[in-house]
């Protein structure tokens, strides 16, 4: 029997209906409700006008099932052979990044915490032909320290560089000058002056302005990329076509307009697989 579409799928632009949540997600939702209030509040903020309370709860349960599977995949990955890891991930539309890369100015990539981001990138980009050592991820330190060291080792072993957010400008410019790709994960709340407030799913959200500043200053194109898990357990990395840079004589307005374009690209990714986004994060902090 095919799953019944959630009410409002068409209104929110979901590409396919969600199946009933797995048993693991229902159990975790009731017995181990980590940040359940945050998850439900975020889902209501995005889908509250199109989904009923029961549908939002089922989407939350599907999300908890995704988190449980994400953890299992993270633990299991080192036990797999390199060939099995490469078979686990499919890369789509790689021509989009190749076309930009051939311009010789480097590539800026915008993405989100969608799917099993760490597993898909370390397993998939390890076998990405001709680009080993040319991808660099800009990210903040993880807590606790042992987890940060573990994730960094996995990225490095897969030929992916890690650039810490603090004081990263020189490193980013060096990598772009070498023709490399720098990945920005742009879907988290940005604190203080580093952020610009633009809409995300129709609500104001402080978003890092760094990507727009770099693209305007260097002329390097920005490519959206997403990851997700298929029903058969395989992962997909998909590159989209480069986003056009919106010109503006006013620097602040240009940063705001282009950052909104990046957020819109992330929205499109998330709506394809909404249960696989990181709803436990406090993306909207009203009053900040």
Q: Are residues 104 and 145 in the same domain?
A: yes
Q: How confident is the model at residue 142 (pLDDT cuts 50, 70, 90)?
A: confident
Residue 4 within a domain: no
Q: Are 89 and 123 in contact (CB under 8 A)?
A: yes
The pLDDT, as a whole number, for residue 249 is 95
Q: What is the CA radius of gyration of the chain?
A: 19
Q: Are residues 57 and 109 in the same domain?
A: no
- The total domain count for the chain is 2
Average pLDDT of the segment spanning 213-233: 96
The pLDDT, as a whole number, for residue 61 is 97
Closest to 142 measured CA to CA, from 182, 113, 180: 113
Residue 283 within a domain: no
Q: Are residues 138 and 217 in the same domain?
A: yes
Average pLDDT of the segment spanning 98-122: 92
Q: How confident is the model at residue 7 (pLDDT cuts 50, 70, 90)?
A: very low
Residue 287 within a domain: no
Q: Are residues 90 and 34 in the same domain?
A: no
The two tokens of residue 206 are 């402080």
Q: Which domain holds residue 191?
A: 82-273
Residue 45 within a domain: yes
Residue that is last in its domain, among 43, 74, 105? 74
Q: Are residues 42 and 164 in the same domain?
A: no
SS3 108: strand
How far apart, in whole angstroms, are the C-alpha atoms of residue 173 and residue 133? 16
How far apart, in whole angstroms, are the C-alpha atoms of residue 30 and residue 10? 29
Q: Are 65 and 22 in contact (CB under 8 A)?
A: yes
Strand partners, 250: none
SS3 196: strand
How far apart, in whole angstroms, are the C-alpha atoms of residue 101 and residue 95? 10
Q: Are residues 70 and 89 in the same domain?
A: no
User: Rounded to 5 degrees, what are φ and ψ at 247?
Assistant: -75, 150
- Whole-model pTM: value is 0.92
Q: Are residues 252 and 233 in the same domain?
A: yes
Q: Are residues 265 and 192 in the same domain?
A: yes
The two tokens of residue 15 are 């590409």
SS3 105: coil
Residue 18 within a domain: yes
Residue 178 within a domain: yes
The region, left, alpha or beta by phi > 0 then psi within -120 to 50, assigned to residue 13 is left
Q: Are residues 167 and 201 in the same domain?
A: yes
Alpha helices in the chain (DSSP H): 9-12, 23-31, 36-47, 53-76, 82-88, 94-101, 117-124, 145-157, 169-177, 210-218, 251-272
How far apart, in whole angstroms, are the C-alpha atoms of residue 65 and residue 25? 4
SS3 161: strand
CB atoms within 10 A of CB 156: 12
Q: Are residues 47 and 95 in the same domain?
A: no
Query: Which has the minimum average pLDDT: 62-66, 158-162, 185-189?
Result: 158-162
Q: How confident is the model at residue 204 (pLDDT cuts 50, 70, 90)?
A: very high
Instruction: Express as a percent the part of the chain with pLDDT over 90.
Output: 74
The pLDDT, as a whole number, for residue 129 is 62
Q: Are residues 93 and 213 in the same domain?
A: yes
The pLDDT, as a whole number, for residue 241 is 96
Q: How confident is the model at residue 192 (pLDDT cuts 50, 70, 90)?
A: confident
């Amino acid at each position: 029997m095919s799953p019944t579409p959630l009410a409002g799928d068409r209104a929110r632009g979901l590409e396919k209906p969600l199946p009933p949540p797995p048993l693991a997600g229902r159990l975790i939702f009731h017995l181990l409700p980590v940040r359940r209030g945050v998850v439900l509040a975020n889902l209501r903020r995005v889908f509250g006008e199109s989904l009923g309370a029961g549908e939002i709860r089922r989407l939350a349960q599907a999300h908890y099932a995704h988190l449980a599977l994400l953890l299992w995949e993270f633990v299991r990955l080192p036990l797999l052979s390199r060939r099995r890891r490469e078979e686990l991930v499919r890369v789509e539309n790689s021509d989009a990044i190749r076309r930009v890369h051939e311009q010789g100015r480097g590539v800026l990539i915008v993405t989100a915490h969608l799917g099993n981001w760490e597993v898909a990138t370390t397993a998939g980009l390890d076998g990405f032909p001709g680009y080993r050592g040319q991808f660099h991820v800009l990210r903040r330190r993880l807590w606790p320290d042992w987890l940060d060291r573990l994730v960094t080792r996995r990225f490095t072993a897969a030929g992916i560089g890690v650039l810490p957010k603090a004081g990263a400008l020189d490193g980013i410019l060096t990598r772009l000058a070498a023709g490399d790709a720098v990945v920005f994960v742009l879907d988290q709340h940005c604190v203080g002056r580093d952020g610009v407030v633009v809409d995300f799913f129709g609500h104001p959200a402080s978003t890092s302005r760094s990507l727009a500043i770099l693209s305007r200053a260097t002329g390097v194109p920005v490519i959206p990329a997403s990851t997700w898990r298929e029903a058969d357990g395989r992962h997909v990395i998909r590159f989209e076509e480069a986003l056009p840079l919106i010109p503006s004589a006013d620097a602040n307005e240009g940063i705001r307009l282009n950052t909104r374009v990046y957020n819109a690209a992330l929205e499109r990714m998330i709506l394809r697989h909404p249960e696989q986004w990181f709803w436990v994060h406090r993306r909207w902090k009203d009053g900040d």
